[in-house]
Structure 1
Amino acid sequence: MFRKLVTSVLIVVVLAGAFAGWQFFTANTAFPQKSKYLYIHTGHVTWPEVLQSFRDSNLVKSPSMLDLLANRLDVPEKLKAGRYEIKNGMSLMDITRLLRNGTQAPVKLIITKLRTKENLAGFLGRKMEIDSMDVVNYYTNVDTMQQYGFDTNTVIAMIYPNTYTYFWNAPLHTIFDKFYTEYKNVWTEERRRQARNQGLTPVQAYTLASIVEEESTIKTDKDTIASIYLNRFKKGMRLQADPTIKFAMKDFTLRRIHTKYLSVESPYNTYMNAGLPPGPICTPSLATLDAVLHSPQTNYLYFVAKSDFSGRHVFTETFDQHVKVANEFRTALTIEQQKRAAKDSTVKPK
């Protein structure tokens, strides 16, 4: 009788162990997506908080078994802040090892076009652990910016469209150090030589490229547009670049720059201020930067969009020529807007 009891107990223990092992080593995720992310914030690296995150986010089917395994493998003592990818189909053992080893999933920051420093701060605040106000405080710190050779106006000239990879909880100096490394990679000795040939510093070339970027999406027009601004710049003329008015007003939806907008008080208003603005008005593509560096020698001083709305431009040397084609474009634009308004008025709401 005693032997039977012992045997039964052993069988129960073995089965319990097998069941626990089965839970530890088989898929235990509780979500249908390909993966979900667990964020462990700096200063909140405690196992009870992390375990509660697993429960709240419905990451695993058996939080209690995860707790048991994590404590057996000393996970609470080895936890690190970070962003961890929990892939569909992972076992509790997989997840425990992930946390124990601090194997973070990197964040890819894909920068295409940013227009303002505030855009940069908001972008980093959404993608990284840092607060957007910390970013603002960082780039407005004169001493910090001087370490990179920039100031609070030109800091955007350090940032080039690309994909940057970081850990989610990377400190700000690490983020900006990588921006600066990319800046140095872009500005090869050849590009620096080309900028000197145009009479520009790297920051000036980038600032001019940011204006050209906002002026046109037509690649074949960009180098000629750049030549016009360079001609004006070298002659001491005001650039009178419409995109700088949009930037000064912080209204990037404007399609027409009316006369009343031209008096906006801003150092970025190139209708009122001579020379280039204090810094870039966006992050231009490398193709646009190279269009500036390779811009041809021309006699053009003016340009305006073609009246066929193809996105191309008409380039002219004299103001009289410019006025003629500009009037053609304004007339065509007014007619087009009237047509759209008439069409919209005939559409009845459902």
Structure 2
Amino acid sequence: MSRKRKGGCLGVVFKLFVLLVLVAAAAAFWLWQRYDGFADAPMSGIENGEALVVASGDTVPAVVRKLREAGVVEGDSLEWRALARQLGAAGRLQVGEYELKPGMTPRELLEMVRDGRIVQRRFTIVEGWNIRELRAALKRVAELEQESAGLDDAALMKAIGHAGQHPEGRFLPETYAYTRGDSDLDVLRRAHEAMAKALDAAWARRSKDSVLKTPDEMLVLASIVEKETGVSAERPQIAGLFERRLRIGMRLQTDPTVIYGLGAAYDGNIRKRDLTTDTPYNTYTRPGLPPTPIAMPGVDALNAVANPAPGDHLYFVAVGDGSGRHLFARTLAEHEANVRAYLQNYRKARQAESQ
């Protein structure tokens, strides 16, 4: 073969090689553009309120299948796996529920799942709820596993690790975060622990001359103060008034305890026969504190009982104007005058409502 022909063949081979390199480069560039456009392009098919649930053992292809079921069509399995490797998400998918938002990109979604930014839901225990109201509210939360269904109060307390303890007043009114897979018992455990800490802290700060003998007595009185007023500034006054009654042996005579003792029989009205019918919770017929709390007291009520306001008031009655405030009195005569004022204000308020 002549040198000329040999040189010509080498030239053709070189040109083919260069062509192949250019084609490969173009293909790589096209693939990169497609991949880059996929990673940062908003996903279609997502509506407000949708969620992605990553279960234990889920891989990237499993997540992609769930996204397809949710209506996401962008990207093939190869692109999703490549993006997951680039972001360090492959093999690090965190179990939980994730909020899908319209306009989010595949990159944002995989970073969210990699970092475990799961949906945080919230449940609020309201100050003054009793255990029946608390359990009914928990039952309405569809996202919580209902593990307490069928348990009576005693079995419930045993299930959360406090067998033999009465449940009333034992759960601190606060807002608690929970995630998918949590149960109603999980929330109750956290609320019980929070109340135990709040009660310990209030007991440690109590007035040195407190008439209360135990933290449980403080919890009982705080629950009464919680139910007697929704006006935060009045709680120390009412706590001080009840302390003085306990100290001199005067009966508490507080309607909320009577109402609690009536239970489901209470129809919204408290009658004279209710005040004279003896129950363990009737503080008109029995001296001292009732046997258990009557509601869930908040931190303000606990602090009020720990450090009640000084004074010599022994009586109080609602103002009757709808404000929730009270009139305080030192003597029975002053109190009876306040009661007359209350009745007058109450009638005026009712007349205004009817007009």
TM over 0.5: yes
Partner of 2:253: 240
Q: How many Å apart are 1:115 and its aligned residue?
A: 0.5
Over aligned residue pairs, what C-alpha RMSD do you find?
Answer: 4.6
Partner of 1:348: none
Candidates 172, 192, 198, aligned match of 1:186: 198
Partner of 1:290: 303
Bigger mean CA deviation after superposition, 87-96 or 207-216: 87-96
Partner of 1:277: 290
User: Does 2:214 match 1:199?
Assistant: no
Q: How many Å apart are 1:319 and its aligned residue?
A: 3.6
Partner of 1:38: 52
Matches within 5 A, 1:45-124: 54=67, 61-62=72-73, 65=76, 69=80, 81-99=95-113, 102-113=116-127, 115-124=129-138
Partner of 2:338: 325
Bigger mean CA deviation after superposition, 178-187 or 291-300: 178-187
Q: How many Å apart are 1:24 and its aligned residue?
A: 3.3
Give me the whole-angstrom Cα distance separating, in 2, the residues matched to 1:292 and 1:280. 13
User: Does 2:138 match 1:133?
Assistant: no
Structure 1 residue matching 2:252: 3-state secondary structure: coil
Kept in 2: contact 1:138–1:144 (CA 8 A): no
CA offsets 1:54-80 (integer angstroms, 9 cap, x no match): 46655xx42674797369969998766
Q: How many Å apart are 1:113 and its aligned residue?
A: 2.3
Give me the whole-angstrom Cα distance separating, in 1, the residues matched to 2:266 and 2:127. 13
Q: Which has the larger radius of gyration?
A: 2
Kept in 2: contact 1:195–1:205 (CA 8 A): no
Alpha carbons of 1:30 and 1:234: their partners in 2 closer, same or farther (altered >3 Å)?
farther
Q: How many Å apart are 1:304 and its aligned residue?
A: 0.8
Structure 2 residue matching 1:194: 3-state secondary structure: coil
Kept in 1: contact 2:60–2:80 (CA 8 A): no
Structure 2 residue matching 1:169: 3-state secondary structure: coil
Alpha carbons of 1:338 and 1:62: their partners in 2 closer, same or farther (altered >3 Å)?
same
Partner of 2:13: none
Candidates 147, 153, 158, aligned match of 2:167: 153
Kept in 1: contact 2:125–2:134 (CA 8 A): no
Give me the whole-angstrom Cα distance separating, in 2, the residues matched to 1:259 and 1:49. 67
Kept in 2: contact 1:122–1:132 (CA 8 A): no
Structure 1 residue matching 2:98: 3-state secondary structure: strand
Kept in 2: contact 1:222–1:288 (CA 8 A): yes
Structure 2 residue matching 1:300: 3-state secondary structure: coil
Structure 2 residue matching 1:140: 3-state secondary structure: helix
Gapped regions of structure 2 (runs ≥ 5): 1-15
CA offsets 1:73-96 (integer angstroms, 9 cap, x no match): 699987665222334543224324
Give me the whole-angstrom Cα distance separating, in 2, the residues matched to 1:72 and 1:314. 69
Q: How many Å apart are 1:28 and its aligned residue?
A: 1.4
Question: Which amino acid letter does the alignment assign opposite residue 294 of structure 1?
Answer: N
Q: Percent identity?
A: 23
Partner of 2:244: 231
Question: Which amino acid letter does the alignment assign opposite residue 151 of structure 1?
Answer: Q
Structure 1 residue matching 2:344: 3-state secondary structure: helix
Structure 2 residue matching 1:275: 3-state secondary structure: coil
Alpha carbons of 1:10 and 1:246: their partners in 2 closer, same or farther (altered >3 Å)?
farther
Kept in 1: contact 2:220–2:293 (CA 8 A): yes
Give me the whole-angstrom Cα distance separating, in 2, the residues matched to 1:119 and 1:68. 51
Give me the whole-angstrom Cα distance separating, in 2, the residues matched to 1:73 and 1:172. 35
Kept in 2: contact 1:135–1:172 (CA 8 A): no
Gapped regions of structure 1 (runs ≥ 5): 344-350
Partner of 1:162: 174
Alpha carbons of 1:222 and 1:319: their partners in 2 closer, same or farther (altered >3 Å)?
same
Partner of 2:10: none
Q: How many Å apart are 1:97 and its aligned residue?
A: 4.8
Q: How many Å apart are 1:188 and its aligned residue?
A: 5.0
CA offsets 1:278-314 (integer angstroms, 9 cap, x no match): 4333333322222222214544332112255554322
Candidates 219, 229, 233, aligned match of 1:220: 233
Give me the whole-angstrom Cα distance separating, in 1, the residues matched to 2:240 and 2:293. 18
Kept in 1: contact 2:246–2:252 (CA 8 A): yes
Alpha carbons of 1:19 and 1:305: their partners in 2 closer, same or farther (altered >3 Å)?
same
Q: Give the TM-score normalised by the residue count of structure 2.
A: 0.69
Give me the whole-angstrom Cα distance separating, in 2, the residues matched to 1:289 and 1:123. 23
